[in-house]
Amino acid sequence: MTEQLRWSMLEARRECGPCNACCVVPEIREKKVNKLPYMPCEFLKAQKCSIYDSPERPEQCKEFMCAWRVGYGNVLDNPYYNGVMASINEIGGETAIYVFELFPKAVDTKGKALVDDIVGKTGLPMKVNLWQ
């Protein structure tokens, strides 16, 4: 990921609101967390991360940047409402948009505007994890 892209993502911040998809969708196997994909994290309490400010919080969680939260899409494209969680990550030397459906067909329906906005603004390839 380019430094310019990373800084532009850090400049814009939205509040998560009722969304906690990042605590449910990804697989996390680090420190005290051994979480399977699409399962709530054991540290998700009252819709918030109970170890957010703790050294126990995994690096994967600290480094995650929700594309909606950093300014992609419009305010109504919050993953909680549109069913799509997306992030821009570099994995194995390739920077791409990683998209996760929170419910069936979300990428093609409610979440399409968010995905289109990210692709249009970045030109990056997209990797989609469909709801199973």
| Per-residue tens of pLDDT for the chain, all 132 residues | 555 555 455 555 788 889 999 999 999 988 788 889 999 999 999 988 999 999 989 988 988 889 999 999 998 899 999 999 999 988 888 899 999 999 899 999 999 999 999 999 999 999 988 876
CA atoms within 13 A on the CB side of 82: 23
C-alpha 73/C-alpha 87 separation (Å) is: 12
Q: Are strands 48-49 and 126-129 parallel, antiparallel or unpaired?
A: unpaired
Strand, helix or coil at 64?
A: coil
Is 28 in a helix, a strand, or coil? Answer: strand
Q: Give pLDDT, residue 112.
A: 92
pTM, entire model: 0.81
5 three-state secondary structure: helix
- Report the alpha-carbon distance of residue 61 to residue 82 in Å, rounded: 22
